[in-house]
Amino acid sequence: MFVPPGRVVVLTAPGLVWATSWPYAEYVKHEWAGAWINSLFRKEVPGLASEWILEAIAATRFIWGEPPPLGCVTFVDPTKIRHKRDPGRAYLRAGFRRVGRTLTRGYLAFQLLPEAMPPPDCPLGATLPLIRSTDARD
């Protein structure tokens, strides 16, 4: 279990992995309940991380449709990343805004509202019949 209980979109390519989760409200312990959560992002290939983030958001919109009113949030633990002058820089460059910290662990919170999201776009290399809901309650 690498995402909270709920729905999930996992996108992979050589050197890339992204997961957007849409947790059930009863499992959310932060103030952005109902938002999509970027639960995992790892990039080990050339290119700007901010561009990959926007492609992943566009693919998530293609699969799930309209985003929730709170959009997408992600949390960054500045103690667990390489020292940088501004943790979350790739998210900021992708249009996310820093909106606070989580109460329990003090992670930095970043949010991308629906109006700032790219339009839906089919994931590169997707086989459309394989795209389906991953709701654990189905």
Neighbour order of strands in the sheet with 16-23: 6-13, 16-23, 36-43, 72-76, 108-112, 97-101
Q: Mind listing the pLDDT tens digit of every residue in the chain (138 residues)?
A: 677 778 999 999 899 999 999 988 777 777 788 899 999 999 999 999 999 999 999 999 999 999 999 999 999 988 887 776 788 999 999 999 999 988 888 899 999 999 999 999 988 777 665 555 555 444
Helix (H) or strand (E) run with residue 116 in it: none
Cβ-proximal residues to 31 (8 Å cutoff; 6+ apart), any chain: 100, 103
How many angstroms separate the CA atoms of 54 and 13, rounded?
15
How many angstroms separate the CA atoms of 121 and 124, rounded?
9
CATH superfamily of 6-123: Gcn5-related N-acetyltransferase (GNAT) (3.40.630.30)
CB 87 within 8 A of CB 49: no
DSSP readout, 12-31? Answer: EETTEEEEEEEE-GGG--ST
